[in-house]
Amino acid sequence: MIMPARKAPAAIGGFTLVEVLVALLILAIMSALGYGTYREARISAERTEESLKRSREIEFGMRIMVQDFAEMVPRPVRDPLGETRLPALRGTTGAGTLSSIDSSSSPGSNSGMTFNSGPGFSSSSSSNFGSSSTTIASLVDLTRAGWSNTAGMQRSTLQRVSYQLLNDVVKRSYQTVLDPTQNNVPIVQDLLTGVKAIQFRYLDGNQHWQNQWPPATLMLPESLWTRPVAVEIIVEFKDWGRIRRLIEVAG
């Protein structure tokens, strides 16, 4: 008599405690490695975005300054009281302290020096920045052309622009009229931030660099409308270092 074959007992499924612990340990290690990589990638992306944003800010601010100086015109203006005429360009040597650099890096430039408003430019003459800045003189006041008028407003295409360094911010101000009164409110924007120092120099018609404009050798009325041949701007940032622009004045 042939007996039927007996089936082998089925294996009992499951994992031992040791196997579960080892699996959890491996999962934890892989998760930690993955999170670390993700965190580093996110930090790198944030730093890249901040650097790109900063680069755009500096590029935009320097481009605005270059346009202002390149498009200067010989148009003097009257002060808010209407008593005196102000030169088409009234510029100081700058403000702040430029750090020392190798003399070969920027031939002819002054380094390691402190710049202030310079003689003849008192704080009372700077009214473009409103009451909050009455104790700080503007560094440069100029009249420029090329003020876009896409809205077709009844105004001039000339613009009176001023620059000021307040704390570590370069501010740009402009008036909506060329000969403002005390009732005119200027429009102010923060152009460059994180600025340590800013320096200006002016190349006259004799190819000599001047530290302020108009030079003391120019007499009235010539000093009211005479412009430099070129302007040198050096801006030193706390994070980006030094940027130099040499701008040829049109005309």
- Answer yes or no: is 227 within a domain: yes
Q: In the chain, how many domains are there?
A: 1
Contact status, residue 193 vs residue 57, Cβ threshold 8 Å: yes
Residue 77 half-sphere exposure, CB side, CA atoms within 13 Å? 26
**Residue 125 vs residues 65, 122, 139, 213: alpha-carbon distances, Å:** 21, 6, 11, 15
Residue 51, domain member (yes or no): no
In angstroms, the CA 76 to CA 196 distance is 31
User: 190 in a domain, yes or no?
Assistant: yes
Confirm whether 25 is domain-assigned: no
Q: Show the DSSP H helices in the chain as ranges.
A: 17-70, 222-225
Q: Which of 190, 111, 179 is nearest to 141 (CA)?
A: 179
- Residue 48 placed within a domain: no
Q: Indicate the pTM of the whole model.
A: 0.73
Q: Is residue 230 part of a domain?
A: yes
pLDDT one digit per residue (tens) for the chain, 251 residues: 555 555 555 555 677 877 778 888 888 888 887 777 778 888 888 888 999 999 999 999 999 999 999 999 999 999 888 778 999 999 999 999 888 865 444 444 444 444 444 433 433 344 455 544 445 689 999 999 988 777 777 778 899 999 999 999 999 999 888 888 888 889 999 999 999 999 999 999 999 999 999 999 989 899 999 999 999 999 999 999 999 999 999 87
Give the domain range for residue 192. Answer: 57-149+156-248
Asked if the structure places residue 50 within a domain, the reply is: no
Residue 232, in any domain of the structure: yes
Q: How many CB atoms lie within 10 A of CB 231?
A: 26
